[in-house]
Structure 1
Amino acid sequence: MSWGTELWDQYENLSLHTQKGIEFLERYGHFIRDRCTIEVEYAAKLRRLVKSYQPKKKEEEDYQYSPCRAFKLELNEVNDQAGQRELIAENLQANVLRELNILVKDFKEDRKKHLQEGARLMASLAGQIGNLERARKAYEKAFREAERALDNYQRADADLNLSRAEVEKQRMNMTVKTQQCEEAKTEYANQLQKTNDMQTLHYHTAMPDVFQHLQELDEKRVKNMRNYMMKSVAIERAVAPIIEQCLDGIEKAANEINEKEDTLLVIERYKSGFQPPGDFPFEDLSAAKSYDSNSQLSQPVMQPIHNHLTVKGTVSGGKIKKRVGLFGIFSSNKLIEVCIALKNNVPGYGDGAKEDCSDLPPNQRKKRLQQRIDEIQAKIQQETAARDGLMKMKGVYEQNPALGDPMSIEGQLNESSHKLDKLGAELTKFQGYFDEAMRAGLNLSSPSQISRKPTSNGSATRPLSSRRSSHSGGEESLSRSASDSSVSNVNTSQPVHKKSAPGTPQPIHGSTNSPESGLGASRTSLPGSGGEEYYLDELEAQPPLGTCRALYPFDATSEGSIPMYDGEELYMIELDQGDGWTRVRRISQPIEGFVPTSYIECNLYNT
């Protein structure tokens, strides 16, 4: 079927149809353009979403749990999907939109050219038809004039009254008109022949060619519309396997979530290594004492069997002992500031405050030391590799002096050896700390073994233990083989330790150089006071620094401590000085003593 034969008389409709077709193709191009914009925006929003939910530096420790790890993997997969959406947009723009815009431009130019050709052919045919009509009218006019001239001659010839000259005149006029009529007839016949030939050529050859070109243009438009749609599908289908892999990765990450493993990780992270508190002691009611009218309670109060150690910490106990800041530097406000800084993990407080990590619970200490050992080992490996590279370079320079002076890297080798010696000494030192922490963990005992000595007026105090002695790593040079062997030994010999719930602070055993002494807080006496300068006398009861609530029940089995039940509210009299104990006072009874800091939730006053 051809437009030239079937639609020979539908020039205007075909012109309108091809115009609408090109406009539709152009509209499809606008659709592809807008879709590319949406794909790019979608990818950008996905990337912003992933970026906003990426773990912060302070949250990285929480991402050791399987749901957090799975969520992080899902973020990576979603980010990859965003990349695939960007790829779809790029391919649509390059392989569809650009070609489509060029094709629309070509279609418009070709259509305009074909329509102009058709308009020219139609104008030529119309001109020829006009010439034919003029020739026909001229022939008709000449024919009528010839007929009138003939009639006039016949009447003049029949009229006997007319002279012979008049008759001859009419005859001559008839002859001229007849000749003009024949000429007009011949011109009309020629124009008719031309018009018929041109009309035949117009409707059977010229215009069908124009319509054929328009038909081919429209078919090409429809065909390319199909091709572009198929290209769009192929572009999106090309990234479908990658998106499917992203979805498979998310599914795999979800399947790796393990609640049992997370439970062990929580234990590993928070286990302190302390032993649970022992049984509550029997309170002998016969040891209860009554307080006078100046005390906070006028009726007799039941006291535990270790009353003689805590009575001096009450309002009616007269003088009490009060601790001041380390070396007398820190006031109570400064202690509060330090406590808040420790709670909020402010840099410079808590972590890293002590090189041997003796201020941490046993399990946390061992974990921190193991991390430090691993860091030192990584530095040793890196520095050893750098030194080996320098040695090889020196050998190449010695074999070929033209490449460089071997003595130019001698200083770098000496510096590298010095760094290795320093790292080796540091590794040995921290291995000693770790071994000490291991021995201390094996020798943990209950809080009843903590040494507490009553002062001369009977109040309870806490022991003042000296700082542990540091472990020297030696000054000998660390060779390459030695560093490798030390790395392998540490990696294979260090056990994995799990964590548990908070426990009571552990006692201090032996001398200051024993491994167990590292579990106590570092204490130093102020000069000139005979070793008890940490505690000062005061005539009135010390005002509380805040309140606290017992998170767990505690049995006071050691001297200077007081029992408490779960949920009990107490006054905070003195903050934890680093040994794991906090001095508190009962709200209902004027009794003071020490309780484990990990067993209470503190709430400091604003002032």
Structure 2
Amino acid sequence: MGTITNSWGIELWDQFGNIAAHTLKGIEFLDKYGNFVKDRCAIEFEYASKLRRLAKNYQPKGKKGDDEDNEFTSHQAFKSVLKETNDLAGQREVVAENLQSQVIAGINLLSKTLREERKKSLQEGTDLQQNLTAQLAALDRAKKNYEKAYREAEKAVENYQKADADFNLSRAEVEKQRHNMTFKCAQSDDAKNEYANQLQKSNKLQYSHFHTSLPAVFNKLQELDEKRTQGLKEFIKQAAEVESQVAPIIARCLEGIVRASESIKEKEDSIKVIERYQSGFQPPNDIPFEDLSKADNESSHNSQINYAMNNNATMKGTIGGKGLKKRVGIFNIFSSNKNTITADGMKDDFSDLPPSQRRKKLISRIQEIQQKIQQEQGARDGLIKMKGVYESNALLGDPQTVQGELKECEHKLEKLKNELRKYQILLEEVKSQTASQHSPQTNRNTHHQNGSHGNHRMSRHSNGSNEDGGDDAVDDARSLSRSASENNVNQQNGAQNGLNNNNENNNNGSSSASPESGLGTSHSSLPGSGQGSTNDHHINDDMYYDTDPLPPLGTCKALYPFDGSIPMAEGEELHVIELDQGDGWTRVRRMANGNLMEEGFVPTSYIESTLYA
């Protein structure tokens, strides 16, 4: 056996048509892979677009509930997941773009080059084949001419021999046959020589065609096909490298998602739920036992009903979301009904929120004001420096142009400081109220020491229905509201006096006992204020209350139950004897059969008043 080579020109010397078809199929296969990469790019772009749309659709919309939920670690982790998902979409876009710019463009260029080279090689092979075919045709013609001339020469020789042997023919006839024989033989020799010459040329051309020229063409086609195969190999590898280049970034995105999952703290989120929804209210006390054997069972029954109604309101305000704001006024007893409403629908002092939520809002508001104060102080310091520069060099500017801005800045600062003191006082009120709610024993002792005599003297004109003391639970609830009201009176008076002293535009001669200062008659007449010892209550009563009853100014209807200095049930009608002085409280009187029964203060927001003309 001969040596087997890998040359198409040797092994496939007679397969021109199959080689041409094979190279065409190879280039078409390369284009097919190019179309595959194109479709892959389209999928990558579509995948990236859908990932981005997915991340965008699940982004927080900026609603109030979404902003509040962002404080939970689970929500923060989900935002990180959305960010990493968006980054993943970006990497898929990078893959698609690199496939387009590197792989697809390379495939298109290679395919175009291979087609041109194949066309050129096939044209060269066709020309060689045509030349060989033409030479073989010439050889065939020369051979036919030689065969024809040879037969004619043979016949001429035969005719001459016959004529020479025939004695009947003249010498001229014989000479004619001899000349014809000579001519035909000469033609036969020429045809033979032409045939030999064409045969030599054909053999030479055929050898060159099948051993040199055509193998060279086949070898070019072989190199072209190998180039196409190698190109396909490189493009497949390059496509994989394009994706592997972004694999570390994708891995970091996935690591970011894993870190986001690890950042979720279930216990911390549970605590934040407590911080968000904790109302600060205390659970209701036990319902007292109704002893029908007591002599004053009617009074006890009324007290129990009032306590049960208030207890029911407590449970509704604590458990039910709809009744929550109604119960706020019980503890937030100095919230004015003249508060402005903020952009989020809450009162300016957040008195419509439960104590814990109110404390958080107040702290947030204080921090916000403090930041504004720092900004204004920075602006003021800058204006002062600018004014000093202008005063030292008049060419730079007029100091008077800065003076107006400086005054405006000082005015803003003073306004912010006053607002800061206001919210700090409100925060202290909430803290004191919360502390009193968490110390029921202290409130009970305070009530028995400081408030019991005042409450009894407050009803000194009544038939004595409360002189037996009633139930301890009712007294505790009253002392709780009373203690909170006393604390608010003292703090509000001090805060208002401080604000009045800092106000440069207040009226001359304004007294600390004016209604604006919070020390009017409605404030000082709060029963059981706790000033002085227990033995001084008779003196305090004479100071706080007039000897003659105040004339009624109108009537009011209780919108909600209240258990304070004067308990009232929902729907109960009372007499108004002193209007709200801006502190959120109205002085009322309960009448029984035309006789004075009880006086006290109730939240203005808990009643609907109808004044006399």
Alignment-derived partner of residue 232 in structure 1: 239
Q: How does 1:139-150 map to 2 (within 5 A)?
A: 139-150=146-157
**2:53 is aligned with what amino acid?**
R
Corresponding residue to 1:97 among 87, 98, 104: 104
Alignment-derived partner of residue 373 in structure 1: 366
Q: How far off its partner does 1:64 sit?
A: 2.1
Distance in 2 separating the partners of 1:35 and 1:171? 89
Q: In the alignment, is residue 307 of structure 1 matched against residue 305 of structure 2?
A: no
Q: Which moved more, 1:161-170 or 1:137-146?
A: 137-146
Q: In the alignment, is residue 178 of structure 1 matched against residue 178 of structure 2?
A: no
Q: How far off its partner does 1:214 sit?
A: 0.9
Corresponding residue to 2:281 among 274, 281, 284: 274
SS in 2 for 1:9: coil
**1:49 is aligned with what amino acid?**
L
Distance in 2 separating the partners of 1:403 and 1:199? 103
Q: How far off its partner does 1:91 sit?
A: 1.0
Contact kept, 8 Å, 2:557 with 2:571, in 1: the verdict is no
Q: How far off its partner does 1:436 sit?
A: 3.2
Contact kept, 8 Å, 1:44 with 1:82, in 2: the verdict is yes
Alignment-derived partner of residue 191 in structure 1: 198
Q: How far off its partner does 1:72 sit?
A: 2.3
Q: In the alignment, is residue 27 of structure 1 matched against residue 32 of structure 2?
A: yes
Q: How does 1:388-467 map to 2 (within 5 A)?
A: 418-444=411-437
1:214/1:557 CA distance change after superposition, 3 Å:
same
Distance in 2 separating the partners of 1:241 and 1:218? 36
**2:302 is aligned with what amino acid?**
N
Distance in 1 separating the partners of 2:51 and 2:427? 46
Alignment-derived partner of residue 50 in structure 2: 45
SS in 1 for 2:300: coil
**2:22 is aligned with what amino acid?**
H
Distance in 2 separating the partners of 1:158 and 1:395? 155
Corresponding residue to 1:201 among 204, 208, 216: 208
Q: In the alignment, is residue 156 of structure 1 matched against residue 163 of structure 2?
A: yes
SS in 2 for 1:274: coil
Q: How does 1:110-121 map to 2 (within 5 A)?
A: 110-121=117-128
Contact kept, 8 Å, 2:341 with 2:348, in 1: the verdict is no
SS in 2 for 1:357: coil
Q: In the alignment, is residue 251 of structure 1 matched against residue 236 of structure 2?
A: no
Q: How far off its partner does 1:277 sit?
A: 2.1
Q: In the alignment, is residue 10 of structure 1 matched against residue 15 of structure 2?
A: yes
Distance in 1 separating the partners of 2:367 and 2:376? 14
Q: How does 1:535-554 map to 2 (within 5 A)?
A: 535=557
Distance in 2 separating the partners of 1:233 and 1:389? 60
Q: How far off its partner does 1:531 sit?
A: 6.0
Deviation string 1:262-290 (CA, Å, 9 cap, x unpaired) is 2211211112222222232122234799x
Alignment-derived partner of residue 515 in structure 2: none
Q: How far off its partner does 1:121 sit?
A: 1.1
Distance in 2 separating the partners of 1:46 and 1:134? 77
Distance in 2 separating the partners of 1:98 and 1:402? 67
Corresponding residue to 1:213 among 208, 220, 236: 220
Contact kept, 8 Å, 1:150 with 1:174, in 2: the verdict is yes
Contact kept, 8 Å, 2:288 with 2:304, in 1: the verdict is no
1:258/1:119 CA distance change after superposition, 3 Å:
same
Alignment-derived partner of residue 604 in structure 1: none
The answer to which structure has the higher helix fraction is: 2
Distance in 2 separating the partners of 1:10 and 1:202? 13
Alignment-derived partner of residue 589 in structure 1: none
Distance in 1 separating the partners of 2:436 and 2:190? 142
Contact kept, 8 Å, 2:342 with 2:348, in 1: the verdict is no
Contact kept, 8 Å, 1:306 with 1:559, in 2: the verdict is no
SS in 2 for 1:161: coil
Deviation string 1:349-391 (CA, Å, 9 cap, x unpaired) is 8955322222222211110011112223333445555666777
Q: Which moved more, 1:420-429 or 1:178-187?
A: 420-429
**1:307 is aligned with what amino acid?**
N
Q: How far off its partner does 1:402 sit?
A: 9.7
Distance in 2 separating the partners of 1:61 and 1:264? 14
Alignment-derived partner of residue 360 in structure 1: 353
Segments of structure 2 that go 5 or more residues without pairing to the other structure are: 1-5, 310-321, 327-339, 466-473, 505-521, 530-549, 573-583, 585-613
Distance in 1 separating the partners of 2:395 and 2:200? 102
SS in 2 for 1:18: helix
Distance in 2 separating the partners of 1:274 and 1:220? 84
SS in 2 for 1:305: helix
Q: How far off its partner does 1:407 sit?
A: 7.8
**2:113 is aligned with what amino acid?**
D
Distance in 2 separating the partners of 1:212 and 1:411? 94
**1:362 is aligned with what amino acid?**
P
Distance in 2 separating the partners of 1:169 and 1:245? 110
Deviation string 1:116-155 (CA, Å, 9 cap, x unpaired) is 1111111111111111111111111111111111111111
Q: How far off its partner does 1:559 sit?
A: 7.3
TM-score by length of structure 1 reads: 0.65
Contact kept, 8 Å, 1:65 with 1:265, in 2: the verdict is yes
Distance in 2 separating the partners of 1:263 and 1:174? 130
Contact kept, 8 Å, 1:4 with 1:212, in 2: the verdict is yes
Distance in 2 separating the partners of 1:512 and 1:113? 115
Contact kept, 8 Å, 1:287 with 1:304, in 2: the verdict is no
1:368/1:183 CA distance change after superposition, 3 Å:
same
Alignment-derived partner of residue 131 in structure 2: 124
Q: How far off its partner does 1:412 sit?
A: 5.9
Alignment-derived partner of residue 489 in structure 1: none
1:59/1:165 CA distance change after superposition, 3 Å:
same
Segments of structure 1 that go 5 or more residues without pairing to the other structure are: 290-301, 315-334, 340-346, 477-508, 517-527, 537-541, 546-553, 563-571, 580-607
Q: Which moved more, 1:206-215 or 1:270-279?
A: 270-279
Deviation string 1:56-112 (CA, Å, 9 cap, x unpaired) is 323221232232222222222222211111111111111111211221122222211
User: Could you say which structure has the greater relative contact order, defined with CA pairs below 8 angstroms and 6 or more residues apart?
Assistant: 1
1:352/1:129 CA distance change after superposition, 3 Å:
same
Distance in 2 separating the partners of 1:235 and 1:512? 85
Q: How far off its partner does 1:304 sit?
A: 9.1
**2:79 is aligned with what amino acid?**
K
SS in 1 for 2:70: helix
Q: How far off its partner does 1:164 sit?
A: 0.2
Size of the aligned set, in residue pairs, is: 465
Distance in 2 separating the partners of 1:403 and 1:181? 125
Contact kept, 8 Å, 2:341 with 2:347, in 1: the verdict is no
Q: How far off its partner does 1:306 sit?
A: 3.9
**1:437 is aligned with what amino acid?**
V
**1:148 is aligned with what amino acid?**
K
Contact kept, 8 Å, 1:36 with 1:90, in 2: the verdict is yes
Distance in 2 separating the partners of 1:304 and 1:37? 85
Q: Percent identity?
A: 51
**1:427 is aligned with what amino acid?**
L
Corresponding residue to 1:78 among 77, 85, 91: 85
Distance in 2 separating the partners of 1:529 and 1:172? 176
TM-score by length of structure 2 reads: 0.64
